Structures are given as C-alpha cells and as structure tokens.
Amino acid sequence: MSRKKRIFLQHNVRLEDLTSNAFLDVFAEGYDLFKVLAPRRAIDQQNANRYRDVLAKVFIGVRKADGHAPIEIRASLVEVLWEQLLTQVAQYRAYAQMSHEAGTGKRRSYFSADRWMNSADFERDMHEFVSNGKIKDRRPLINEELQIEFRELLEEAKDKRDEETTVAVGSSEGSPPA
C-alpha cells in the first residue's frame, strides 16, 4: 500500500463548515496544539510524513483534550495519551524491527513506530483509540492444543522426509534400504 500523504483530511468540507464557529474553534485548538508539539523545522516543511506523529498527536488532542484548558495542560495530556497508544500498539501489533547492539553484536527486536505510522493499521488504530481509549488486539489467536498438534505434524513431516532421504541415498549407493 502506498504511503498516504494526507492524514485525516476530509474532502467534503462545505462553506458552512468553514464559517461555523464550532469548526473554527476546533481548527484553532488544533493549530495551537500543532505550534506547541511540532519541532520548529516542521512548520516550514511541506512534507507531512516527516512529522506524522505530531499530526496524530494533534488529532488526539483535538478529540480528547478539553479545549478550554491551558495549552500546556492539553499538550501534556496529549503526550501521555500518545505514549499509552504506542504502548498498546507495541503490545498488539507486529511492527518490530531488528538491530544489532554495538558492543555485543547481538540482534534485538524493538517496536518501530515509523513502520506502524506508515501501515494500513495506523488510521484505524487512531480512530479506535480516540473513540475507546484503547485498541483491540488483532493478533491471531492460536490455541495451545492447536500449537501442540501443529508441532506434532511438523515432526511427522520431518521424520518422513528424513526416511525418504535415507532411502534415496541408500538406493543410489546400491545398498538395500534401511
């Protein structure tokens, strides 16, 4: 799936929406949050992908924070909510990335927020989190009995393959099969 260049952009905005006080209040809240949360260089850039997390935080802030509270309190709440969301995504989604530890050379896995933000799950998870305060666990459920049965089938297949390999090797050497 190609990377989305617009985040939560609605194309069906009417003139009445643009002139309504409620719409303008929401816009002002979002703009105030953006000014506080965005790195200075982001304001001058045209590429929204470089600060997608900030736009997502603004979306959360406009939907979840009290618009009448001081901006510092709203920004703090947004950061807390963002960390809660990332914790849930790391727990319930498979967006891991591998890296090598410099000193030991060991490989370790860590959650990649960038991979998640560029995925098809991103927008759905954002809306779900704003609506419910949490996201659903969409990992496939594998029951323990099925895991055991699957392991047994794999072992049987491996044993059968080993037997066939032994028979094939034995018959090619001219000796009777074992």
Give the tens place of pLDDT for each residue, 64-120.
998 889 999 999 999 999 999 999 998 888 887 778 778 887 888 788 888 899 888
Three-class DSSP category at 139: coil
Closest CA to 115 of 127, 104, 125, 128: 125
Indicate the domain borders of the chain: 15-132, 140-178
50: left (phi over 0), alpha (psi -120 to 50) or beta: alpha
Q: pTM above the 0.85 mark? A: no
State phi, psi for 108 to the nearest 5 degrees.
Answer: -135, 155
State whether the Cα torsion 42-48-50-51 is positive or negative: positive
- CA torsion 138-139-144-148 (nearest 10°) is 140
Give the tens place of pLDDT for each residue, 22-46.
888 888 999 999 999 987 765 566 6
Give the tens place of pLDDT for each residue, 113-170.
888 998 889 999 999 999 999 998 877 666 666 767 777 888 888 888 888 777 766 6
What does 70-121 look like in DSSP terms, one character per residue? Answer: -HHHHHHHHHHHHHHHHHHHHHHS--EEEEE-TTT--EEEEE-HHHHHTSTH
Tokens of 82: 């963002």
State whether the Cα torsion 82-85-87-93 is positive or negative: negative
